[in-house]
Amino acid sequence: MKFSVDNRGYYGDFGGAYVPEMLHPNVEELRTRYLEILNDEGFREEFYGLLHDYVGRPTPLFFASRLSDHYKTRIYLKREDLCHTGAHKINNTIGQILLARRLGKMKIIAETGAGQHGVATATVCALMGMECTVYMGQLDMERQRPNVERMRILGATVVPALSGNMTLKDATNEALRHWINRPTDTHYIIGSVVGPHPYPDMVARFQSVISEEIQKQLMQKEGNPYPDTVIACVGGGSNAAGAFYHFLEDEHVQLIGVEAAGKGVDSGHSAATTVLGKPGVIHGSKTLLMQTADGQVVEPYSISAGLDYPGIGPLHAHLFQTGRVSFQHATDDEAMEAGLELSRMEGIIPAIESAHALATLKKNQFDPDDVVVVSLSGRGDKDLETYIGWKPKNDE
């Protein structure tokens, strides 16, 4: 299959496992065991059981009729915003915690930037009665206080990362250091399709439940499992990988990935990795990342914390390079407008991350009978302050 990982952990030129010698045993154990565990009948039963009873899956595929009228095409929203904890991230944390138990590991560590992956991890640790330690940059802890409190209420220990810029990269380094010292009893839950092989493939498989459901739901509603277009926002790329997964080999399905342009691609305040990035190694894999001429990672910027990541997963780097996915971008302003538009037209306040996907509806030409599926990756409750504080440009 053209877009599957090969047995060395590569998608074309991208991927692999670039980890320090001391982490090799941990990553190697995962690599040799993950497929056998994921394909095990008992594992699948438990995974789908929890997705159904705890997460609330299948999430609806909602035909957005007013939005469809407005854009003169047929738009469906895949409602990941209705998942327990408010976004798709929990699909992956459920999968990984079940995997950790199969590996005999009772302690969990994670890194988090804005805190959303940390909350999803703390949630499943509480569910399973497992010890949870989340590393978070000190600066991010100050900026995202409510999520820090949420994790603590759920029983997790939040450890501030005090090195570097005290943000996500530093939290990741601390988590890796922790893992090196406790390889036998601890599993590291990574939150997107990033990191050393097999993480990108493993996380994509857990999130692929999104496109599995889209196919079934479109079959019921349209008599055809294939949409014309699927649109998803891309931070690290996990909701997009999940929404695209079962359509990757069907090249008549158009796939659009939307990155955050921040204040504009050329403004110096952006997270549009496919435009600004070059091949390099970040978080254990070779991929596209935003870096200076001498290879220092450039701090990304976006109004949405979930898209504020300097790289993209290696699968997406490959999908970009091969042209299978059309990568587009939306600015802060475009996303905010699209988020408010959906709120008023359909009564759904989306996460600002998801609003980036919605913002591309007006930039693409669709036929009136096209079926366009947008991945609504999360809900906007966490973003209320930003929505309240935002003033449209022409009102100033």
Ligand X SMILES: *Cc1c(COP(=O)(O)O)cnc(C)c1O
The residues annotated as belonging to the active site are 89, 111, 377
Q: Are 191 and 117 in contact (CB under 8 A)?
A: yes
Nearer to ligand X, 105 or 194 (CB): 194
- Contact with ligand X (CB under 6 A) among 59, 93, 112, 116: 116
Total residues interacting with ligand X, rule: CB under 6 A? 19
Task: Give the residue, chosen from 237, 284, 300, 310, that forms a contact with ligand X under the rule CB under 6 A.
Answer: 237
Half-sphere CA count of 349, side-chain side, radius 13 A: 10
What's the closest the beta carbon of residue 82 comes to ligand X, in angstroms? 12
C-beta separation of 149 from 134 below 8 A: no
Q: Identify residues 83-102 at the interface with ligand X (CB under 6 A).
A: 87, 89
The nearest distance, CB 162 to ligand X, in angstroms, is 24
Cβ neighbours of 230 (radius 10 Å):
29
The rounded distance, in Å, linking the Cα atoms of 132 and 186 is 10
291 near ligand X, rule: CB under 6 A? no
Among 230, 234, 271, 276, binds ligand X (CB under 6 A): 234
Contacting range for ligand X; rule: CB under 6 A; set: 128-136, 169-177, 234-242, 245-253: 234-242
Token couple for 45: 């039963």
Least distance (Å) between residue 22 CB and ligand X: 27
The minimum distance between CB 321 and ligand X, in angstroms, equals 18
| Whole-number Å distance between alpha carbons of 298 and 1 | 34
State the minimum distance, in angstroms, from the CB of residue 134 to ligand X. 15
Closest distance of CB 144 from ligand X, Å = 12
Strands 61-63 and 325-331: unpaired
| Closest residue to bound ligand X by CB | 378
CB 262 within 8 A of CB 331: yes
The yes or no reply on residue 329 touching ligand X (CB under 6 A) is no
Q: Which of the residues 43 through 82 are near ligand X (CB under 6 A)?
A: none
- Of 79 and 89, the one with the shorter C-beta distance to ligand X is 89
- Give which of 306, 312, 267 is closest to 290, Cα–Cα: 312
Exposed, middle or buried, 137 (CB in 10 Å: 0-12/13-18/19+)?
buried
Q: Does 378 engage in binding with ligand X (CB under 6 A)?
A: yes
Residues 6+ apart with CB under 8 A from 179: 23, 26, 109, 186, 188
Q: What are phi and psi of 272, to 5 degrees?
A: -85, 80
Work out how close the CB of 236 gets to ligand X at its nearest, in angstroms, rounded to a whole number. 4
Nearer to ligand X, 37 or 243 (CB): 243
CA atoms within 13 A on the CB side of 325: 30
Q: x/- site string to ligand X, residues 255 to 284, per CB under 6 A?
A: ------------------------------
238 binds ligand X (CB under 6 A): yes
Sequence-ordered list of residues with C-beta below 8 angstroms from that of 130, at least 6 positions apart, any chain: 97, 100, 106, 107, 108
Which residue of 306, 311, 314, 339 would you call a contact of ligand X, by CB under 6 A?
A: 306
- Kindly identify the residues of this chain, within the stretch 8-27, that bind ligand X according to CB under 6 A: none
HSE value, Cβ hemisphere, 13 Å, CA-based, for 333: 8
For residue 309, the SS3 value is coil
Binding region for ligand X (CB under 6 A) out of 25-33, 259-267, 282-290, 348-356: 348-356
- Which one, of 149, 103, 156, lies nearest residue 127 by Cα? 156
**Binding positions for ligand X, 157-216, rule CB under 6 A:** 192
What would the two tokens of residue 253 be? 């399905």
Which of 233, 261, 319, 336 binds ligand X (CB under 6 A)? It is: 233
Positions in the binding site for ligand X (CB under 6 A) = 87, 89, 116, 192, 233-240, 306-307, 351, 353-354, 377-378
